[in-house]
Chain A
Amino acid sequence: MKTKIFTGCAILGWILMGALAGWGQDKPVSLVDSGIEHYKAGRYQESLRVLKEVIRTSIDDRELFLAYLYTSYTYFSLPVQELGNAKAQAEKAVAINPDSVLREDEFVSEFVEFYKKIREEMTGIGYFDADPNPANIYLDNAPIGVAPIKKELLAKVYLLRAVKWGYTPYEGEIEIKKTEVTNFKIPLNDDKNWKTFIRSSVIFVVLSYLMKTI
């Protein structure tokens, strides 16, 4: 009995020690984090080298966004500013995440303004209101939220799809225009829905009865 208790305690202790050892370890640093660290340490050229490697190899939108953003920030922060490059990289960051807002505690205020101006030049605001609300809104097959919803989006043409239980999904092209706010009223009630299905079903049953087929 004592042997069993001792063995049990030993196994439990081993597991706990393993867990505690793991607790103390730092998470592995990703390449994009490493690039950001280089930037923060003032090693701009090294930062650019690492972030460009992320851009070349990554397929993750979050990583790509950060890589473009910090590449832009690095070009902006060089002793001799490279504003053309900074703008090109910021545009790519906005294309990935159009409604991103930079915080002044993370970036210098000049860059926050610089980025905001680029974002405003590339985006517009869409206000989506379904009749009836709520309805799931998809743009180019990607969900953006539930109507009614206001969303900052890249200025371009999208395929809008609004989906609501009991209603025929609405599909149509919309255009978001630069620096403009556009309202989109989505008329789900105009198409076939559960109410018209019940009406058709009742008519069908009545017709079947009159025709003596049921």
Chain B
Amino acid sequence: MKKALIGFGIVLASAAALGAEGFTFYTGKANNTNYLGVAIGGDIGDFLQLQIDVMKYLKDDPSLHSDVPELSRGDFLGVSGNFVLKLPLQLIPYLDRFDYIQPYISVGRGIAAENTGAAYNDAPNPVDGKTGIFNKLRPFKSFGYGLLIMITSKFGLKVDYRSVNLSEHKGLGLPGRKFSRLSFGICFGPYKKEIKRIKK
């Protein structure tokens, strides 16, 4: 867990150092509930972007919710670092005018809390007996793809699909689980260079 936190800290620091640009606010539906999220991304290569993504369920997933606060795991507050590879339509013959449509694929890793309540986090883990939120967090991997359509040079719409794989948590005695999410978002950030104008 410490490694995951250190890794996440490095990713955040890198994003800040790179002057990350491009905000996305999104909402969507996971398996059994709705969620909200925000992503901030910045270019680290010509077609490569580093993205920090935070998402949270709006209400508990009914299949994981429990009326006993110590056992309820229906929430999901996840933070992840993702690498996004943009697929350049504008380099393909006859599609040069479609540079405002940007398909992409992404891979990432993150950590998530399944319940942020004190009752859940203060309860000892069933296997290792540890307490505290840092011993309850679950690492996850994500793989996704999507489409970004820039409406203006600085504003666009995004459709994003992601498959999220939560790792097994030995301390909690929980097996890995998987869910997918589809989100729709709005994003801000320049997508191409400004046209050089002649000063008059």
Contacts and interface: CB of A to CB of B under 8 A. Distances in A.
A117 interface: no
Interface in B61-86: 83, 85
Interface in A178-209: 191-194, 196-197, 199-201, 203-204, 207-208
A166 interface: yes
Interface string A155-189: 00101000101111101111100000000000000
Contact of B109 (A159, A172, A213): A213
Given A163-B96, A197-B88, A204-B85, A211 B141 contact: yes
B2 interface: no
B141 A167 contact: no
B193 to A, nearest CB: 7
B46 A200 contact: yes
A207 B90 CA distance: 25
A163 B88 CA distance: 14
Interface residues on B, range: 20 to 34
A27 interface: no
B108 interface: yes
A214 interface: yes
B182 to A, nearest CB: 19
A167 B93 CA distance: 10
Contact of B198 (A174, A199, A200, A208): A174
A200 B91 contact: no
A173 B46 CA distance: 24
B179 to A, nearest CB: 16
Given A169-B96, A213-B107, A197 B91 contact: yes
A173 B197 contact: yes
Interface string A79-94: 0000000000000000
A212 interface: yes
Interface in B20-57: 45-48
B51 to A, nearest CB: 12
A196 B109 contact: no
Nearest to A190: B193
A169 B45 contact: no
Interface string B158-179: 0000000000000000000000
B193 A196 contact: no
Contact of B47 (A163, A165, A196): A196
Contact of A203 (B45, B105, B142, B195): B45
Contact of B195 (A165, A171, A208, A211): A171
A203 B48 contact: yes
B45 A172 contact: no
B46 A197 contact: yes
A210 to B, nearest CB: 10
Nearest to B48: A200
B196 A165 contact: no
B96 A200 contact: no
B143 interface: yes
Contacts of B91: 165-168, 192-194, 197
Given A168-B99, A169-B90, A204-B85, A196 B45 contact: yes
11 contacts: A159-B195, A166-B91, A173-B196, A193-B91, A194-B91, A197-B91, A199-B45, A200-B46, A204-B83, A213-B141, A213-B142
Interface of A: 157, 159, 163, 165-169, 171-175, 191-194, 196-197, 199-201, 203-204, 207-208, 211-214
